[in-house]
Structure 1
Amino acid sequence: MTCYAIGLLHDVRMGADIVTYLEGIDATLAPFGGRFLIHGGPCEVLEGSGGSDLIVIAFPDRAAARSWYGSPAYQALLPLRRCNARGEVFLIDGVEEGHQATDILRAGQKAAPPQRCAEAGAGRR
């Protein structure tokens, strides 16, 4: 199943280190089948504050994504980004073709206790 490396980066300081990072990252992805799907760019914020750079890299599976992140080639570049941006980076698996939102209810996902928020109730009138 496709696995995605997601980065939500804030306060990226463009400079020589980030340029070196950007010039080197593609070569670190290739051996693991990684490819950029989203790499920053303008976004239309519909909710929340925005102001971050979203990066999405697809890998054939989680093992490939973990291997890329832990590879010596990527680990050598990583300090260049960490010293010039802050943010969150995580791996998450995609869903199967035809997935519907209610599939998680049947998949044994731990359900949260029932709660209603004022905003959700307002939309049902």
Structure 2
Amino acid sequence: MARGYWVAHVDINDHETYRKYVEGNGPAFAKFGGRFLVRAGRYEVVEGTTRERNVVVEFPSYEAARACWHSPEYQAVLKYRTAASIADLVIFEGYDGEQPA
């Protein structure tokens, strides 16, 4: 089964409030098997644009990724992120097929 992913690009305008989001989102991610693959590390924009913070969270499935977003646990802390930042977040289904040779 293909995994699910959240890919987010975030500009933060209130770091103190955003910190409440970061400190509170762990239980939702843990409940749905989410784990960070990228969490605001170094990056280089080689084409196009991005925001100041980039995040990739991997889930066991696309369904788990969607369920996490819609869960009461996540929605309870989302208010901190939306109050403190502007974000683009997409939930993707991973690719589990053949790779180019």
**1:28-85, CA deviations, whole angstroms, 9 ceiling, x for partnerless residues?**
1111111010011221222234443111000111111111111111100001001111
TM-score (norm. length: structure 2): 0.87
Larger Rg: 1
5+ residue gaps, structure 1? 101-125
5+ residue gaps, structure 2? none
- Closer/same/farther in 2, CA of residues 55 and 80 from structure 1, 3 Å limit: same
Q: Which has the higher relative contact order, 1 or 2, with Cα contacts under 8 A spaced 6 or more apart?
A: 2
Task: Give every structure 1 segment of 4 or more consecutive aligned residues whose post-TM-superposition deviation is greater than 3 Å.
Answer: none
Number of equivalent positions: 100
SS in structure 1 at match of 2:46? coil
Q: C-alpha separation between the residues in 2 aligned to 1:66 and 1:12?
A: 26
Give the counterpart letter for 2:68 in structure 1.
W
TM-score (norm. length: structure 1): 0.72
Q: C-alpha separation between the residues in 1 aligned to 2:87 and 2:53?
A: 9
Alignment correspondent of 1:59: 59
Q: Identity of aligned pairs, percent?
A: 30
* Residue 12 of structure 1: how far off its partner (Å): 4.2
Residues 14-53 of structure 1 correspond to what in structure 2 (within 5 A)? 14-15=15-16, 17-53=17-53
Q: C-alpha separation between the residues in 2 aligned to 1:50 and 1:75?
A: 25
Alignment correspondent of 1:110: none
- Closer/same/farther in 2, CA of residues 56 and 12 from structure 1, 3 Å limit: farther
Alignment correspondent of 1:116: none
- Closer/same/farther in 2, CA of residues 61 and 11 from structure 1, 3 Å limit: same
Q: C-alpha separation between the residues in 2 aligned to 1:92 and 1:51?
A: 19
Alignment correspondent of 1:120: none
More strand by share: 2
Give the counterpart letter for 1:64 in structure 2.
A
Alignment correspondent of 1:74: 74
RMSD of Structure 2 on Structure 1 (CA): 1.8
